[in-house]
Amino acid sequence: MMKFAGYSLGVSFAPIGSNVFAKSFRFPIVGSIYRGNLRSSRLFSASCWREQSNGKNGVVAKQYLPPWFSVAPMMDWTDNHYRTLARLISKHAWLYTEMIAAETIVHQKDNLDRFLAYSPDQHPIVLQIGGYIENLAKATELANAYCYDEINLNCGCPSPRVAGHGCFGVSLMLDPKFVAEAMSAIAANTNVPVSVKCRIGVDDHDSYDQLCDFIYNVSSFSPTKHFIIHSRKALLNGISPAENRNIPPLKYEYFYGLLRDFPDLTFTINGGISGIDEVNAAREAGAHGVMLGRAAYNNPWHILGHVDTAIYGAPRSGLTRRQVLKKYQVYGDSVLGKYGHKPTVRDIVKPLLNLFHSAPGNGLWKRKADAAFRSCTTIESFFEETLVAIPDLVLDSSAVEPPPGRGDLFANIDSLLPPPYRTREEEIVLCA
């Protein structure tokens, strides 16, 4: 396989120490990543620490555990508020921002905190962007001050608002040359790793070999070594983005084929995984990382509440939901109305609405919340008004029951794998 000239990614395979860490360790500890210039990467971290001492956000922890588990980028969902909640429940999950258009970052450069600021607690955190190539480079440079841990390019969104513009979303999968150029431009403007999130295909461009051609070209002609694969294709005409997340069938065998055929790359599986057992099953089958979207949003307590213990082998935070809400209230009231009338009580409370998923009192709490949105002007008063609906037992228990999972989801995956990919160098050297 041809290699991208002038780029090297040294990945530490050293075990971290505990048993669980010794198991199929593939991701580097962030602090140990060497990307071309170790000295400048150290300087980058140092400048982030300085930012913190100036009172801005942007602290970079020295070391994080690898992204064995991540919460997907989800527009209007994985905003600052949701990520604040998620971090109170799981210390180690990697959190992605919703996609932020590079154009927004470039045009709002005097107003960047509104789009890019986050609490240092949210590390490890990945910024997802999309946009025109010149703006991607500029946006990445502007985002450096915020010390994200990785920059990710959205090559998977089927929304006509996004994909229809040619330089965004899943239609990029038809143009690996552009993606390689875009990723090179992004990487040239940051010291943190870069990654691509994509589907397994688009419309009838959906064979395993076509997916491999995309991965081969992007990884060979740019510094991209980490791919997040939403394991269903996208249909560009006729169905909505929501339908595009359900109708095209999942083909996990393509994902596991990539693991076999690109052993030097790192792959995170995404799509339709909804429980901790499934996350562990995906990792046992070889996935380097597992990304959950809707399940982590729709049931944060039961999903994120298990990540630290069941996936990372680390202690649980031990917080009860009452304690989580108390901390969240301090956050919520401190940001309420920070940008004129935004964020509103409703904006801040939105991610909490799933916190009592399937718990006693959940229905009543939601009805009370509906009424409280009209009358409450602070998060504190919102909680006073609504939390009476939830029994103390629910609020004060830190125990988390995992939702039943499909631990055998990947049991037969080896028998389904597509035939091995053979690089057709002479045909697919699109980028040479």
Binding site for ligand FMN (CB under 6 A): 72-75, 77, 98-99, 128, 154, 156-157, 197, 230, 245, 270-273, 292-295
Residue 97: CB atoms within 10 A of its CB come to: 24
Amino acid at 416: L
What is the closest distance, in whole angstroms, from the C-beta atom of residue 168 to ligand FMN in the complex? 10
What is the closest distance, in whole angstroms, from the C-beta atom of residue 379 to ligand FMN in the complex? 23
Of 128 and 317, which has the nearer Cβ to ligand FMN?
128
In the Cβ-directed half-sphere of 131, how many Cα atoms lie within 13 Å?
21
**212 has catalytic annotation:** no
Contact 151/186 with Cβ under 8 angstroms? yes
Residue 104: CB atoms within 10 A of its CB come to: 19
Contact 73/129 with Cβ under 8 angstroms? no
For the record, the structure tokens of 327 come out as 């901390």
Instruction: Tell me how far apart the alpha carbons of residues 335 and 342 are, in angstroms, rounded to a whole number.
Output: 9
Q: Which of 147, 155, 157, 376 is catalytic?
A: 157
Amino acid at 379: I
DSSP 324: H
Instruction: Tell me how far apart the alpha carbons of residues 153 and 167 are, in angstroms, rounded to a whole number.
Output: 11
What is the closest distance, in whole angstroms, from the C-beta atom of residue 233 to ligand FMN in the complex? 12
Residue nearest to ligand FMN (CB): 293
Q: Which helix (H) or strand (E) holds 129?
A: strand 125-130
What is the closest distance, in whole angstroms, from the C-beta atom of residue 297 to ligand FMN in the complex? 7
Q: Which of 17, 64, 8, 66 shows the shortest CA–CA distance to 37?
A: 8
What is the closest distance, in whole angstroms, from the C-beta atom of residue 17 to ligand FMN in the complex? 30
Catalytic residues: 157
